Each structure stands twice: as structure tokens, then as C-alpha cells.
A and B are shown apart, each in its own frame.
Chain A
Amino acid sequence: GAVVSQHPSRVICKSGTSVKIECRSLDFQATTMFWYRQFPKQSLMLMATSNEGSKATYEQGVEKDKFLINHASLTLSTLTVTSAHPEDSSFYICSVPTGGGYTFGSGTRLTVV
């Protein structure tokens, strides 16, 4: 099956700094990728749809200026959490539609201190 790599797996940053998370589709060209956020013991909440070569589509309530998404190639999408605050601490996970459904990245646990 398809392989999706996500980095970093864990990151701790200071409040006010920015963090970049990468999602790579290693063996599948993805014109679309999805970014989800998962709080402890909660569901996967869709944040945005990353579109290769064009602007991302954000879900209602998600600040596009805070969560910057770049999808410059068919194999890489990045999510940058800008000016991070403790409430941004969460598990961020990307997914790639691979024909037979989604393949998820391994997730990034972000802790903002």
C-alpha cells in the first residue's frame, strides 16, 4: 500500500514561535492531501484540504493565517503553525487519498510551552 511519512513525530516549542510539519507521500502522487487535528480522546477534526499548486481550502473556524499550508509538489504538503500558543497543542495528522481510501501519516504531537 501507499506510504505516507510525516515529520517530526514530536515537537515542543515555545509560545509565540512557529512550527513546520511535513507530510510526504513516498510512492503516490497526491494532488490533494488533508490535514486533521486530534485532541486527546477526541475525534479527527478536518482542518484543511491541501491542493497541489493552489491555495488550501480551510474548514470553518480554522484560521488560515495561523495554520499555513503549502503544497508545492505532488509528494509534499507542509503545515506551519504560526505564533503557536498552548491551546494549539494537539496531535496533527495528514492523510493522502490513495485510490482505495486514505493513508494517514504517523502524526505529529505538538506541545507548546
Chain B
Amino acid sequence: GENVEQHPSTLSVQEGDSAVIKCTYSDSASNYFPWYKQELGKRPQLIIDIRSNVGEKKDQRIAVTLNKTAKHFSLHITETQPEDSAVYFCAASQTSGTYKYIFGTGTRLKVLA
């Protein structure tokens, strides 16, 4: 089955700096890769996603890149703000919205003011 690894497990950055979180997956059949943000005690919220036919996607300060050949994808957050502090999870799935997601182990991001 699919296995998703995520690094780093914790990340501290100064406000205004960029943060990068990386994930690798094992199943070449996976074709949908969402990223979720989870604040303490709350439900995960989708922040951005990418499908396998696209190499990069951007939404304001957030971007995701995908390298299908290498089976890795990354989340990039620019101009970080204290409210970006949370746990971020990547996931891999074979079909958007209809197939189970396998989540990475999570990255605890702390943005220092």
C-alpha cells in the first residue's frame, strides 16, 4: 500500500521567512496530493492540493510543487506570519475525493514573531 513520509517533523522560522515542507510517496498510482493545516484541537483544513498532471500550483503565499518521477511533493509558504503556526499534513490518494487518503506524519510549524 501507499506510504507517505514527511519532513521535517518540526520547523521554526522567523516571521517573514519562507517555510518548506517535503513529502515523498511510494505508490506511483497516487495522483492527488492535498495539504492540510491543523490548529491545536481543531479539525484539519485543506489549504492547497495538486493533481499529478500539474507540476506546480500557487495560491497567494502558498505553493505546492510535485515531481512525479521522484515521487515527492513540497509545500512552500512565503512571508510567514504567526497565524501560520500549526501542524501541516501532506497526503496522497489515487482519486480526488473518492479514495482514502494516506497522511504523512505531520510537521509542526512555529513562526516566531
Cβ distance A8 to chain B, nearest Cβ, rounded Å: 14
A→B interface (CB under 8 Å) = 32, 34, 36, 41-46, 49, 93, 95, 97-102, 104-107
Partner of B46, one of A43, A99, A102: A102
Q: Is the interface of B mostly helix, strand, loop or mixed?
A: loop
Counted as pairs of residues, one from A and one from B, with CB atoms less than 8 Å apart, the total is: 50
Q: Which residues of A contact B43 (CB under 8 A)?
A: 93, 104-107
Q: Which residues of B contact A46 (CB under 8 A)?
A: 100-103
Q: Which residues of B contact A99 (CB under 8 A)?
A: 97
Residues B97 and A102 in contact, CB atoms below 8 Å apart: yes
| Given contact pairs A101-B34, A101-B49, A102-B34, A44 touches B44 in the complex (Cβ within 8 A) | yes
**Is B78 in contact with chain A by the CB < 8 A criterion?**
no
